[in-house]
Structure 1
Amino acid sequence: FGAYSRPPSAFAAIYAKGGIPCRLVHGSVKHRLQWECLPEAVPFDPLLVTLAEGLRETKHPYTFVSKEGFKELLMVEGASEKAIPMLPRLVPVLKAALAHSDDEVFGRGLDALIQLSAVVGPSLNDHLKHLLTNLSRRLMDKKFREKITVALQNLEQYGGKATVAIIKSKIPTYCSI
């Protein structure tokens, strides 16, 4: 029997078919993304959700494309107006990345959560409860304690006063900044 080959993930299949309008450009030191059109002109729906799904990937180039693509899309002008209506679809995907057993996937999910929070601000508060469970689970892990604390502080900073009560309900040991 030959080696069992897993079918490509949804993200890998979409990327292979050219469904993601950017490509990886290999530099001698640093990789970057090259968009087929300006990121401002790219439709957020469904691309932002697809890139968020790619955060769970563990193979190159998918890991880089999903992380950088997600970040660059959220940096375009008017990103908050485009991202806020997509929160109900983005949150479960981010939650899956934060629940992943692979440390690098968790780290990418945490970075994406901070980036999303900076863009959508208090709009994320309604969905925060779903994400905090996975953060509280990893808070006891020494290698993530500081990064999660910084993430919680960022969530508080971008989400306003109401965020503190939401965080404390899931992570009672959290100290406000």
Structure 2
Amino acid sequence: MKKTKQSGSCFDQTLPVKLSRRAGRHVLCRLTDKELPYYSSNGEYRHRIPKKLPSDYTRKGDGEKIKRGELHKAAPKAEPPQAGAFKLRDNPPNTLFRKLYERGDLPLQVLHSSSKNSLTWKVDIRKLDYHHYLPIFFDGIREKEEPYRFIAVKGVEDLLKAGQGKILSVIPQLIIPIKTALNTRDLAVINITLQLMCKLVESEEMVGHSLVPYYRQLLPILNIFKNNVPNMGDTIDYAQQKQICTGELVNRVLELFESHGGEDAFINIKYMVPTYESCVTG
């Protein structure tokens, strides 16, 4: 994954990014003829392995050398190439949120205090145009550099908390930013996105119903990371309060989708995530 070098200061302009770089872009797996599987003479479907040279065959007395590890190890079993479903995808710093923040078009500033940082809005947040600002802040949740990440995430939380009655009509504009953040396959970005999706569903009464038509855009990535739960054994997970377990966050989002999505939510979730079990009907 390409990394764009930045200056490290929030007061400097971000270096330009090539137009060909798109967040979450899918890279096709291109295989040559030598890498493609084939049918053997006995009708078996096999994957190609490197041919042995005459010097690679074992000779008399090599058994003891193999036991002692003096000879090369046996060639690994031929397996199909990896699909790369969990592989990180490109996440260039070209969000609209970053551009507007550096240009000074966002009516806020960071308030630094001894306990924790917060945002100070220069205007009444309830009078903001949610059709304009809420998609911009959701576009910035895939940022990983500071202060862009903190401002985008905290800005979304403040807007959802104070936007009663204004969020439902903006839902169609939030689908692409959320989908782009999930498509980066970056667990740090995915965890933040899932937490904000939970707050989005709980922000208004009918938001869960309005998200049902967009399950085909949002749930494929959740299906991939649904079982991403580390096996702790008999140890204690002291980081549980930080909500960094992707599998648990996915299950929580799916449960909120079902409980707030109405009667058609479960069948649509089950279509995209076949291993999901209902939390309502039991």
Q: CA separation in 2, counterparts of 1:27 and 1:89? A: 34
Partner of 2:188: 104
Tell me the TM-score normalised to structure 2 length.
0.58
Q: CA separation in 2, counterparts of 1:78 and 1:60? A: 29
Query: Is 1:140 matched up with 2:227?
Result: yes
Partner of 1:32: 118
Aligned pairs (5 A) from 1:14-163: 14-79=100-165, 82-118=166-202, 119=204, 120-142=207-229, 143-163=245-265
Superposed CA deviations along residues 7-44 of structure 1, whole A, max 9, x for unmatched, are 36332120122222222111222111111112101111
Could you tell me how far 1:50 is from its partner in structure 2?
Answer: 0.4
Could you tell me how far 1:4 is from its partner in structure 2?
Answer: 5.7
Runs of 4+ in 1 over 6 A off after TM superposition: none
Q: CA separation in 2, counterparts of 1:141 and 1:77? A: 33
Tell me the TM-score normalised to structure 1 length.
0.89
**For structure 1, which runs of at least 5 residues remain unmatched after alignment?**
none
AA matched with 1:171: V
Matched position secondary structure for 1:34: strand
**For structure 2, which runs of at least 5 residues remain unmatched after alignment?**
7-14, 17-92, 230-244
Q: Per the alignment, do residues 4 and 51 of structure 1 end up closer, same or farther by CA in structure 2, a change over 3 Å counting?
A: closer
| Identity percentage of aligned residues | 28
AA matched with 1:59: E
Partner of 2:97: 11
Aligned length, in residue pairs: 173
Structure possessing the higher radius of gyration over alpha carbons: 2
Could you tell me how far 1:84 is from its partner in structure 2?
Answer: 2.4
Matched position secondary structure for 2:109: strand
